[in-house]
């Protein structure tokens, strides 16, 4: 039996903007999707035991099957010529916005490689997972699968003409965060396409917003390197405002962001594609993390208590 794991992630800065070649900052969290693969005869079967938002597994089923097909082709297999049972579990919930699809793609790729005795580097696993992500996101930036593969805190810039620019950011220590789920299963592919369409129709407005987002990413990188968490929180709030301006937030996300800030979170913003999915709040110390988490739970939402800057599976 082959085994593999992939990190969940939160995008601290730059979601949507990274698709268009701007820099972003992403962090793995200390929650993973785990996969087991066992060769069999017949067809590929999937047992998905991940905890998730209502309807997540069902709504993503077709995309999941396509992703595995893409993955096998990228690994040199003829999809119809191989069969195996796939089990998915782990402590990363299947909430939209946490890179659940990328984490599962990395986990499955590693498990297949393990089962078939393929010695694949992390770089190769990342490439395979990127191909799989096309089933979920159309034209993915690559930021999710990169975080799922390597872990840690990463500066990411999509190079539209070649290899992506990836740089590790050294965080003094992992920091507590709270992730709150709206319970809405988001369609990342549709959200990305809608932003591109609005940008095309209003280039002047969106050009200015994109410039602000790029400047903000560089400022945030400096604050993270200096471990100035108050500044990081302020910049997160600004980033959320920019995402509201490009119309990817929603009232449920905005309510959760406001609630977290009212409870003392250093900063809060949506994470991922928007239109539902998740937000996260920067809550250094377990006491603040618990205070914010309980407030979100009391409001009727699922939460994940986790940390950013985690580097080991």
- Determine the pLDDT at residue 55: 60
Say what the pTM is.
Answer: 0.83
Helix/strand/coil for 34: strand
Residues written for the chain: 313
Q: Which residues of the chain have pLDDT under 70?
A: 52-59, 162, 312-313
Q: State the angle between helix axes of 188-201 and 203-225 in degrees (0 to 180), rounded to the nearest 10.
A: 120
- What stretch(es) of the chain map to CATH 3.30.230.10? 2-168
Q: Does the annotation mark 144 as catalytic?
A: yes
Q: Do residues 12 and 236 lie in contact, with contact meaning Cβ atoms separated by under 8 Å?
A: yes
Hey, which CATH number is domain 175-308, 3.30.300.30, 3.40.50.410, 3.30.70.890, 3.30.2000.10? 3.30.70.890
- How far is C-alpha 255 from the geometric centre of its chain's CA atoms? 21
Report the alpha-carbon distance of residue 253 to residue 279 in Å, rounded. Answer: 6
Which of 30, 144, 165, 194 does the annotation list as catalytic? 144
Top-tier CATH class for 2-168: alpha beta
Q: Do residues 90 and 4 lie in contact, with contact meaning Cβ atoms separated by under 8 Å?
A: no
- What stretch(es) of the chain map to CATH 3.30.70.890? 175-308
């Amino acid at each position: 039996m082959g085994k593999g794991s992939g990190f969940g992630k939160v995008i601290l800065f730059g979601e949507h903007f990274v698709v268009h070649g701007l820099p972003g900052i992403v962090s793995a969290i200390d929650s993973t999707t785990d996969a087991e693969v066992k060769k069999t005869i017949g067809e590929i079967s999937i047992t998905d035991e991940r905890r998730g938002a209502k309807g997540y597994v069902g709504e993503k089923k077709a995309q999941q099957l396509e992703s595995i097909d893409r993955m096998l082709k990228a690994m040199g297999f003829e999809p119809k010529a191989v069969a195996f049972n796939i089990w998915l579990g782990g402590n990363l919930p299947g909430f939209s916005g946490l890179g659940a699809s990328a984490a599962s793609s990395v986990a499955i790729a590693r498990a297949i490689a393990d089962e078939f005795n393929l010695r694949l580097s992390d770089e190769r696993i990342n490439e395979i997972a990127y191909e799989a992500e096309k089933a979920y996101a159309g034209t993915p930036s690559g930021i999710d699968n990169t975080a799922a593969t390597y872990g840690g805190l990463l500066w990411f810039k999509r190079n539209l003409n070649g290899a992506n620019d990836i740089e590790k950011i050294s965080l003094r220590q992992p920091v507590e965060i709270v992730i709150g789920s709206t319970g809405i299963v988001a369609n990342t592919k549709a959200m990305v396409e809608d932003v591109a369409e609005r940008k095309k129709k209003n280039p002047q407005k969106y050009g200015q917003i994109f410039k602000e987002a790029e400047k903000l990413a560089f400022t945030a990188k400096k604050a993270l390197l200096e471990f100035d968490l108050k500044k990081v929180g302020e910049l997160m709030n600004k980033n959320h405002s920019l995402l509201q301006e490009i119309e990817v937030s929603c009232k449920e996300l905005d309510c959760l962001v406001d609630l977290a800030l009212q409870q003392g979170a250093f900063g809060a913003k949506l994470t991922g594609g928007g239109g539902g999915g998740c937000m996260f709040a920067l809550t250094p110390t377990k006491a603040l993390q618990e205070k914010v988490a309980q407030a979100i739970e009391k409001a009727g939402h699922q939460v994940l208590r986790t940390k950013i800057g985690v580097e080991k599976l």
